[in-house]
Amino acid sequence: MSREILVRASGLCFAFDGPDVLHDVGIELCAGSLTAIVGANGSGKSTLIEILAGLRPPRSGSVERSESVALVVQRSRIPERLPITVRETVAIGTWGARTARRASRRAVDAALCSVGLSAFARRPIHALSGGQRQRALIAQAIVRDAGIMLLDEPTAGLDSEGRRSVRELLRRETARGRAVAWVTHDEADTAASDRIVRLAAGRRVA
């Protein structure tokens, strides 16, 4: 079955200060599809995600997006002095949206419910476990209502139950028609994905 392509990137090359760390990489992300980006450490996975999200411009090549993007990066620790609750963390996803305040509150409530954190809404974000924090950040991305969701190792450091929970969350988001791509080292994550993009030394390999 043909799926709408929401991200099309071709010929991506990127360098920090020296030689290229990405070499002529192409990738397509489709609506309703979960794509795993895999490879050894240093293969260019996180750099590719950042380019797809628009955080870094490629040295050459192009990225075309037909929907807005939500990016979720790994946060292993959050300072205890940061005075922000779980609900406020999720509500950051509504910033910049031209939505009535009541509608924004409903969207935050729905996102918290979808990740199973409604009961934790008033807790400080730093008080959550690693898996709960990752779910809160995914809820922040959900509330943005972006058609494209990109995640950089969202299951890193989580136990098996935490990884399973994140996988289920992302499958639900693809069922809603989002194009989802995640960087992962976990074999179960890869097996749960619809497509696999494998990088080696900055090149896409079969």
The pLDDT score that the predictor gives to residue 177 is 94
The pLDDT score that the predictor gives to residue 162 is 81
The pLDDT score that the predictor gives to residue 49 is 95
Question: 64: buried, middle or exposed (CB in 10 Å: 19+, 13-18, 0-12)?
Answer: exposed
Domain final position from 128, 145, 162: 145
The pLDDT score that the predictor gives to residue 61 is 97
The pLDDT score that the predictor gives to residue 154 is 87
Contacts of 195 (CB under 8 A, 6+ apart): 30, 33, 34, 35, 36
Residue 183 and residue 49 in contact, taking contact as beta carbons nearer than 8 Å: yes
The pLDDT score that the predictor gives to residue 187 is 93
Q: How many Cβ atoms sit within 10 Å of the Cβ of residue 192?
A: 19
In this structure, the answer to whether residues 57 and 155 fall within a common structural domain is yes
CATH code assigned at 29? 3.40.50.300
- How many domains does the structure of the chain reveal? 2
Give every residue of the chain whose pLDDT is below 50, as ranges.
Answer: none
In this structure, the answer to whether residues 178 and 129 fall within a common structural domain is no
The whole domain housing 41 covers 1-68+146-206
User: Model-level pTM?
Assistant: 0.86
Q: How far apart are CA 5 and CA 8, in angstroms?
A: 7
The pLDDT score that the predictor gives to residue 158 is 81
Domain final position from 96, 125, 145: 145
